[in-house]
């Protein structure tokens, strides 16, 4: 398999003409421009979301008799919130820089040991396109995870950090929403390292797939990214916990325990905030998503190097399509190698490293002394 990949790669490089190279340079220029443009929508989402979150929290604190949140430096409520956000965003970025790759390596080791019996781990040469909408969608799972788990922190925030007195009755609903929002942003510090590790694993193209001998069994082919495997576990909890948490926060507590009147306007507000709270939390994740896009190549090299130590090499994407002639597969293989996220030198480096690891292991096995006969 390794020899075939190297041969096809050499064939693809040798057959490229000058006109094809010029087309590639033009395509690269267009890709570069589009890669900058794709940050526009996430940037707008970040600015609007953070501004809305600040206005909500400041609106509640300004209406209360005790409106100073951080009493240690005597600033206004607005200054307090700006200070917390100015400190919190760099903390999230530092967490990504220091924890994303180590957590990804831990997940790789877990997946390798958990699936060792039936699955191989390899590196797939995945596609390169990733637009602004996908960048925003990447923040959905950690936002739902944080909002779902924020109930654990609300009591502590209400008694210590966000202890306001004499909140007007008209602002009671917004006070509860602000509590949930602040608790979600605090829990984001715990949730983001877990989910950012799944991002870098997905971007590196590290997958697990059934071993060749397992394909003889009557079962469907199973190939899944390691990041998606971990993300499905975390996201599954969020999808179950989020509606339960929102039911308790937006309906059970206010209308059953607090006996608030369920007027149409109050119910509409509750329904709107079930959608609005995750969107506000998602806005704070956008800078980390953008940094992940910029750091992709450097992080991919670190993760693929570790995957190679676990025995991984490069595999091609499987396409579900009708094949009329067997020769079609031979013609498409070099093209697949040239279209993925991995560059040519990366493919050669991974394949060569994987061959070296396998050769070293074979030598070590030969050096083992034979068992003595009893």
**Half-sphere exposure in the Cβ direction for 120 (13 Å, CA):** 16
DSSP string, 98-140: HHHHHHHHHHHHHHHHHSTTTEEEEEE-------HHHHHHTTH
Q: What is the pLDDT of residue 33?
A: 42
Reported as a single tens digit per residue, the pLDDT across 3-28 is 444 444 444 444 444 444 444 444 44
Whole-number Å distance between alpha carbons of 167 and 156: 18
Q: pLDDT band at residue 369, thresholds of 50, 70 and 90?
A: low
Whole-number Å distance between alpha carbons of 254 and 245: 13
Type and span of the H or E element at 207: strand 206-210
- Residue 155 DSSP SS3: helix
Q: What is the pLDDT of residue 168?
A: 63
Q: Say if residue 199's pLDDT is above 90.
A: yes
pLDDT top residue among 129 and 290: 290
**Average pLDDT, stretch 115-142?**
89
Q: What is the pLDDT of residue 245?
A: 85
**Average pLDDT, stretch 242-247?**
87
Residues 6+ apart with CB under 8 A from 369: none
Q: pLDDT band at residue 223, thresholds of 50, 70 and 90?
A: confident
- Angle between helix 77-114 and helix 264-294 axes, rounded to 10 deg: 60
pTM of the model: 0.76
Q: Say if residue 139's pLDDT is above 90.
A: yes
Sole residue written with tokens 């057959």: 15
Whole-number Å distance between alpha carbons of 174 and 160: 18
Q: What is the pLDDT of residue 370?
A: 56
DSSP state of 319: -
Decide: residue 165, CB within 10 A, 0-12 exposed, 13-18 middle, 19+ buried: exposed
Q: What is the pLDDT of residue 32?
A: 43
Reported as a single tens digit per residue, the pLDDT across 313-367 is 887 776 655 555 556 555 655 555 556 777 777 777 777 777 776 666 666 666 6
Q: What is the pLDDT of residue 332?
A: 57
DSSP state of 348: H
Residues 6+ apart with CB under 8 A from 364: none
Reported as a single tens digit per residue, the pLDDT across 276-323 is 889 999 999 999 999 999 998 889 989 988 988 888 888 777 665 555
Q: What is the pLDDT of residue 96?
A: 93
Reported as a single tens digit per residue, the pLDDT across 66-113 is 555 555 455 565 666 777 778 888 999 999 999 999 999 999 999 988
Nearest residue to 192 via CA among 87, 302, 288, 300: 288
- Residue 310 DSSP SS3: coil
Decide: residue 277, CB within 10 A, 0-12 exposed, 13-18 middle, 19+ buried: buried
Q: What is the pLDDT of residue 161?
A: 62
């Amino acid at each position: 398999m390794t020899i075939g990949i190297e041969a096809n790669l050499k064939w693809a490089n040798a057959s490229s003409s000058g006109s094809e190279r010029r087309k590639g340079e033009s395509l690269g220029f267009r890709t570069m421009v589009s890669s900058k443009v794709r940050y526009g929508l996430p940037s707008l989402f970040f600015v609007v979301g953070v501004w809305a979150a600040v206005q909500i929290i400041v609106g509640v604190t300004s209406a209360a008799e005790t409106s100073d949140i951080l009493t240690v430096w005597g600033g206004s409520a607005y200054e307090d919130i700006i200070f917390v956000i100015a400190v919190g965003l760099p903390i999230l970025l530092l967490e990504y820089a220091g924890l994303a790759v180590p957590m990804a390596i831990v997940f790789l080791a877990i997946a390798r040991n958990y699936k060792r019996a039936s699955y191989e781990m390899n590196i797939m040469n995945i596609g390169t396109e990733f637009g602004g909408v996908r960048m925003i969608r990447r923040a959905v799972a950690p936002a739902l995870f944080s909002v779902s788990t924020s109930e654990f922190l609300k009591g502590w925030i209400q008694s210590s950090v966000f202890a306001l007195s004499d909140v007007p009755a008209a602002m009671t609903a917004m006070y509860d929403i602000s509590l949930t929002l602040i608790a979600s942003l605090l829990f984001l510090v715990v949730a983001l390292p877990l989910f950012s590790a799944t991002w870098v694993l997905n971007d590196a193209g590290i997958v697990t797939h059934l071993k060749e001998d397992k394909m003889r069994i009557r079962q469907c082919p199973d190939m899944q990214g390691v990041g998606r495997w971990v993300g499905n576990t975390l996201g599954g909890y969020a999808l179950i916990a989020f509606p339960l948490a929102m039911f308790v926060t937006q309906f059970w507590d206010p209308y059953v325990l607090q006996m608030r009147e369920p007027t149409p306007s109050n119910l509409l507000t509750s329904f709107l905030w079930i959608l609005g709270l995750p969107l506000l939390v998602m806005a704070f994740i956008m800078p980390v998503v953008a940094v992940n896009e910029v750091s992709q190549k450097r992080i991919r090299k670190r993760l693929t190097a570790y995957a190679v130590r676990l025995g991984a090499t490069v595999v091609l994407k499987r396409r579900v399509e009708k094949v009329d002639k067997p020769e079609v597969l031979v013609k498409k293989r070099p093209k697949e190698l040239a279209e993925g996220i991995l560059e040519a030198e990366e493919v050669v480096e991974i394949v060569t490293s994987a061959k070296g690891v396998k050769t070293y292991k074979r030598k070590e096995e030969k050096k083992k002394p034979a068992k003595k006969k009893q």
